[in-house]
Amino acid sequence: MRFSNYITSMAALIGAALLGITPAAAAISITGTTNPGASPTLPTRVFMDTPRATCASPQTYPGPSPITGPFSYQTYAVKNGPVAGCATITFTPNPTTCTGSTAYTGVVAFTNAFDPNNLATGYLADTSFNLGSGFFETFEINLAANQEINLVVIQASGNGTATPCTYTITSSELSLVEAPPEPYAAVPVPTLTEWAMILLFLSLAGVGIVMVRRRGAM
């Protein structure tokens, strides 16, 4: 029974491969912490304003914030599934750690051309800062099949006033982009020199002659 189940599973996998069926992307649930003084910083940040982006009403770049930085940030490379469509991203700050000015922390979505020194490049959407909706923010973006983007968590307060803020990012349409595997180092295969080959041949020939003589003696 186990063997037949194995054959059935393998047949299903081979059939899916032949038909070009691609598995759907796994949902993400990322937990992280902005850490002023340890996290990388931006010289300025996006002016996160309402309304939030939806797939029916995409955002345009709102410009930089007038608040003085630097601003702590964290970046996550994610990708859409095999089908183009609308991706929903939810950002939930921890109410215990994200308090006061630190509560104004949000997510900005960029293409994979994210440039910390030019936030207009590759801008897609952001959560906006609206703490009156249950202390979480949700926004939507239209993505092509297998499109890779960057989700950048940015603390709105400068490092002079911000404290560490723990958060969670979830999306049922996106998956984390895995780093490419490290290339294997080339291992030299030992080979025999010409003289070693000659000696090996002579040794084998000698063994063969001895065996033939022993058989003749018997």
Domain annotation covers residue 148: yes
Total number of domains constituting the chain: 1
Domain annotation covers residue 128: yes
Average pLDDT over residues 1-12: 42
Domain annotation covers residue 198: no
Domain annotation covers residue 214: no
Domain annotation covers residue 157: yes
Q: Which residues pair with 125 in a beta bridge?
A: 109
- Structure confidence at residue 100 (pLDDT): 66
Domain annotation covers residue 211: no
Domain hosting residue 92, numbered range: 25-176
| Spatial separation of the C-alpha atoms in residues 89 and 175, rounded to whole Å | 11
One-letter-per-residue 3-state SS of 38-85? CCCEECCCECCCCCCCCCCCCCCCCCECCCCCCEEEEEEEEEECCCCE
187, burial (CB in 10 Å: exposed 0-12, middle 13-18, buried 19+): exposed
Q: What is the dihedral of CA 155, 157, 162, 167, to 10 degrees?
A: -20
Average pLDDT, the chain: 75
**Cα 194 → chain centroid:** 51
**Model confidence pLDDT, tens digit, residues 117-165:** 899 999 999 887 645 444 678 899 999 999 999 999 988 776 656 678 8
- Structure confidence at residue 48 (pLDDT): 80
- Structure confidence at residue 23 (pLDDT): 43
Segment holding 202, helix H or strand E: helix 194-217
| Spatial separation of the C-alpha atoms in residues 157 and 199, rounded to whole Å | 77
Which residue type does 142 have?
N
Domain annotation covers residue 208: no
Neighbours of 204 (CB within 10 A): 10
Q: Which of 63, 59, 65 is nearest to 44 (CA)?
A: 65
**CATH classification at residue 162:** 2.60.120.380
Domain annotation covers residue 20: no
CB 177 within 8 A of CB 79: yes
Beta strands per DSSP E along the chain: 28-34, 41-42, 71-80, 85-93, 105-111, 123-126, 137-143, 148-155, 165-171, 174-176
CB 82 within 8 A of CB 167: no
Beta-carbon contacts of 70 under 8 Å, excluding residues fewer than 6 positions away, are 41, 42, 43, 158, 159
**Model confidence pLDDT, tens digit, residues 170-218:** 999 999 996 555 444 445 555 656 766 777 667 776 666 767 666 666 6
More confident: 195 or 11: 195
Q: Which residues pair with 210 in a beta bridge?
A: none
Which residue type does 151 have?
L
